[in-house]
Amino acid sequence: MEDIRRKPDKRDKNQGIVNEDIRAREVMVIGDDGEQLGIMPKKEALDKAYERDLDLVLVAPKAKPPVAKFMDYNKYRYEQKKKAKEAKKKQKVQQLKELRLSPKIEKHDFETKLRNGRKFLANGDKLKISIRFRGREMAHTDRGRDVMLDFAKQCADLAQIESHPKQEGRFMQMTLIPKKDK
């Protein structure tokens, strides 16, 4: 008589140990309805699982003896993937958007950058504002700081300052994050 035991799909690192891959000689068996069936040899547990057309899945490999459960493993994996997909849908990925300003920026250019920055913040993205000082502008870094703080003040209803303006070489940077809704 040929043994027609089914193998689950290819294994990956997040999968459990199933059927013949279980190395323990004896396992504590839990039925598919949650009832404890007791400690039994692996071969007997596998036979009972196959009689019910289910897989024997190791759920607690470090226990003494290891705990295994009868379940349809492919269905279980499908449910896990579905749950993970749902959780991923609900999370918001926050991107870092960058705006470059100048210490000598004109009013209209400033308003355009401000409008774009407000749009990014409204979408829930982080906003990094940077200013590059060229040549003699290095002597007037306070103007750049004023431009940045004015930008932050204009966005105060949507954002809060995560990191205040700080200078690194020829660049000055500041980060704004969207305010949390209460």
Write the class of the CATH domain 96-178.
alpha beta
Looking at the chain, which runs of residues are DSSP E strands? 17-18, 26-30, 36-41, 55-60, 67-71, 96-101, 126-132, 159-168, 171-178
- Sign of dihedral through CA atoms 38, 42, 47, 49? positive
At residue 14, does pLDDT exceed 60? no
CB atoms within 10 A of CB 159: 22
Higher model confidence: residue 100 or residue 42?
100
pLDDT band at 182 (very low <50, low <70, confident <90, very high): very low
Higher model confidence: residue 19 or residue 44?
44
**pLDDT tens across 169-178, in order?**
999 999 999 9
Mean pLDDT: which of 20-34, 52-66, 129-143 is highest? 129-143
Whether the model clears a pTM of 0.85, i.e. scores above it, the answer is: no
- Looking at residue 5, its pLDDT comes to 56
Percent of the chain exceeding pLDDT 70 equals 90
Annotated domain spans of the chain: 17-87, 96-178
Higher model confidence: residue 18 or residue 97?
97
Percent of the chain exceeding pLDDT 90 equals 44
CATH of domain 17-87: 3.10.20.80
At residue 70, does pLDDT exceed 70? yes
Mean of per-residue pLDDT scores for the chain: 86
